[in-house]
Amino acid sequence: MKQNGKIQTTRKYLRQKFVRVILAALGFAFLPFFLMVVLQNLFGEKVSQERKAASWLQESREDIDVSGILKKGWSATIVDEDLRVTHLAGDNMFGKDRLSVEEWTAFLCEAGETLGWDIDVAYHDGVDQYFLVLRKPQAVTFNISVFFNQEANHYRATVITFLAIFSTYFIALILFVALYSKSAARRMTDSVEDVSRGAKRLENGQYDINFGNGETAELNELGKAMLHLAGELKAKEEIQSEEEEKRMLLVSELSHDLKTPLASVQGYSEMLLGKTTDEEKRQDYLRMIHDNSVRANAILQALFTYSKLGSAGYKPVFETVDLCEFSRRILAEYVPRFEDAGFRYHFVIPEEEILVKMNCDLLRRVYDNLIENSMKYNQAGVTIGMTITQEKDAVRIVVFDDGVGIPKDDAEKIFTPFYRIDGGVRGKESGGSGLGLAIVKRIVELHGGEIAYVSSPQNSGCQYEICLPKP
């Protein structure tokens, strides 16, 4: 089940791709946070300690390092137990000298929510009791929007570098995800199509070739090409085995056909050699030897012609010839023979010129085989004829006689090599090789034409239709 294996592999491939994309995206997304944690652990302690209001508290509010706070660009305010406001450094964040309990409570509640600012409140519980309120500009605020407080001058360079790195990172991340998901999507589409194609082929009972790695789509094409090639090779193999079968049949037919004349030659020559017979018998035996050797020779000659016509290397020379003139000349040669043997004849050859690309010797052989068959298998009084008609792209030659004809059952097989219909009205032995019509068919096909036996409606006589293409 190669198809099943292919589908499994493609699923595995899709899963691997998906996991890889997710891991890569997560990796990219968490890398900066991971770096921040590391940096915070290395340097953050000092910074956060320093930013705490509690670290600036002193036993007496007078001793607070106001200049240190100012240097950092922060604001510092003291709020005492009676909620009186003493402004120490930076701008006055309350804008008044005394707060109501509500105002102070509201301030404490909202202190952590001021965008862009850190407000830290520390209470000093000693001889001098007071709140120290530190207001520090945040260097950077993680939010949907990035807010940079111009007053955080101290961190300007760090913030710009940080922002540049972060923007580059986000652009790279977006590009990476977009491009990677696009190519992954394309590969997935290919693979899904591949799977559905594979499934279809599986449904159709076809097989496919799977190389079991990621490049299934491309390999599928290769697989298809190989399947196509395999199909062609199989077809060729079938043709070859068919031809091989035909050859074997031909050889067995040939040996069968040669067996009789060669056995006669052997028998009569042994008789001649063995006993001294009278002169008359000697003459008979010699004639039999001669006739049978002529017959064996005719069969071998016909077979040689038939094989030559079918061999791949055989390339006859074709010339453009007027078929009507060519036919008239051959038929004229036959007329005395027809008249001598008592046959009637009927020819319809157009006066006009019909040009056909042909090999004159081969086409002559076609005419000879067909006309001589009509004479050989029929008695005197039979009409032998030929008509030539011109069609748009072809020329139709009909060779016919109104003699004994060919039985319906045999009509399909008469172009098969060595197929003969002997006996009956044809006489016991025609002496033919059974290759005449097979040779005719091969010659017509070499001319790019077709030949067919057409049974006449009255079922009498023979009619062959040859169709040759016009040049």
Alpha-carbon 71 to chain mean position: 76
In contact, 396 and 388? CB cutoff 8 Å: yes
Q: Taking the complex as a whole, how short is the minimal distance between the CB of residue 243 and ligand ADP, in angstroms?
A: 20
Backbone φ, ψ for residue 93 (5° rounding) = -75, -15
Alpha-carbon 447 to chain mean position: 36
CA gyration radius for the chain?
55
Residue nearest to ligand ADP (CB): 432
Of residues 223 and 461, the one with the C-beta less far from ligand ADP: 461
In contact, 466 and 449? CB cutoff 8 Å: yes
Site for ligand ADP in 419-448 (CB under 6 A): 419-421, 426, 430, 432-438
Q: Taking the complex as a whole, how short is the minimal distance between the CB of residue 270 and ligand ADP, in angstroms?
A: 29
Of residues 149 and 305, the one with the C-beta less far from ligand ADP: 305
In contact, 359 and 316? CB cutoff 8 Å: yes
In contact, 191 and 14? CB cutoff 8 Å: yes
Separation between Cα atoms, residue 375 and residue 384, nearest integer Å: 8
Task: Name residue 322's amino acid.
Answer: D
Q: Taking the complex as a whole, how short is the minimal distance between the CB of residue 248 and ligand ADP, in angstroms?
A: 20
Reduced to 3 states (helix: H, G, I; strand: E, B; else coil), residue 116 is coil
Site for ligand ADP in 296-335 (CB under 6 A): none
Q: Taking the complex as a whole, how short is the minimal distance between the CB of residue 216 and ligand ADP, in angstroms?
A: 57
Of residues 282 and 426, the one with the C-beta less far from ligand ADP: 426
Of residues 265 and 437, the one with the C-beta less far from ligand ADP: 437
Of residues 3 and 433, the one with the C-beta less far from ligand ADP: 433
Separation between Cα atoms, residue 306 and residue 311, nearest integer Å: 9
Of residues 198 and 449, the one with the C-beta less far from ligand ADP: 449
Of residues 451 and 468, the one with the C-beta less far from ligand ADP: 451
Reduced to 3 states (helix: H, G, I; strand: E, B; else coil), residue 29 is helix
Strand order in the sheet with 462-469: 344-348, 383-390, 394-401, 462-469, 450-453
Separation between Cα atoms, residue 469 and residue 448, nearest integer Å: 7
Strand extents, DSSP E, 47-84: 75-80
Q: Taking the complex as a whole, how short is the minimal distance between the CB of residue 409 and ligand ADP, in angstroms?
A: 12
Site for ligand ADP in 336-375 (CB under 6 A): 369, 373-374
Q: Does position 377 bind ligand ADP by CB under 6 A?
A: yes
Of residues 223 and 434, the one with the C-beta less far from ligand ADP: 434
Total residues at the site for ligand ADP (CB under 6 A)?
24
Q: Taking the complex as a whole, how short is the minimal distance between the CB of residue 427 and ligand ADP, in angstroms?
A: 10
- CA distances 190 to 68, 211, 214, 386, Å, are 66, 16, 11, 65
Site for ligand ADP in 387-426 (CB under 6 A): 401, 403-406, 414, 419-421, 426
Q: Taking the complex as a whole, how short is the minimal distance between the CB of residue 312 and ligand ADP, in angstroms?
A: 23
Q: Taking the complex as a whole, how short is the minimal distance between the CB of residue 324 and ligand ADP, in angstroms?
A: 23
Residues at the site binding ligand ADP, with contacts judged by CB under 6 A: 369, 373-374, 377-378, 401, 403-406, 414, 419-421, 426, 430, 432-438, 462
